[in-house]
Structure 1
Amino acid sequence: MTRLPVGDVDRFHLRVETRVPTQSESRDLAMEGGTTVFELWRVLYRTGAPAEVAVAVVPGDRAIFEADLTGWAGAD
């Protein structure tokens, strides 16, 4: 995957949701019953169009969410 230089990104969209895992996710992630997953979607935009999309699914009992969004072009 080609990474965009930060200066080329004019918008960052992050969506985080919790949900019940699929059977294959429970198996692949070695999850105990009753544990939800976090599904994270990250979209980087360049000149108004999506340039990079990433999706991650992680067990809810092993997730830490942290964001540092300073220094973006056009930020106030």
Structure 2
Amino acid sequence: MGGSAISYGRKPPKRGYWQELIESIVWVHNKLKVVPATHPRALSIVQGRAVGVTHYLLGGIAITWAFFLARIIAVG
């Protein structure tokens, strides 16, 4: 009887999800001529953290405003 009843298909790719996503977006932009030849650049650790903190703060502000606007519309 040996063997496994579960087959996982192929091995997981060696490339990361975010790398694939970014390269797919760049490919579409280049294919559709949305912007002239964009090339992704690697960020340093500090730059990556700065981007993360910025997105976190802006997202928090946006969500807070959305909550208060929805509450004002619903209540009053």
- Global fold match (TM > 0.5): no
TM-score normalised to the size of structure 1?
A: 0.21
Larger proportion of strand: 1
TM-score normalised over the length of structure 2: 0.21
User: By percentage of residues, which structure has more helix?
Assistant: 2
Q: RCO higher in 1 or 2 (8 Å CA, sep ≥ 6)?
A: 1
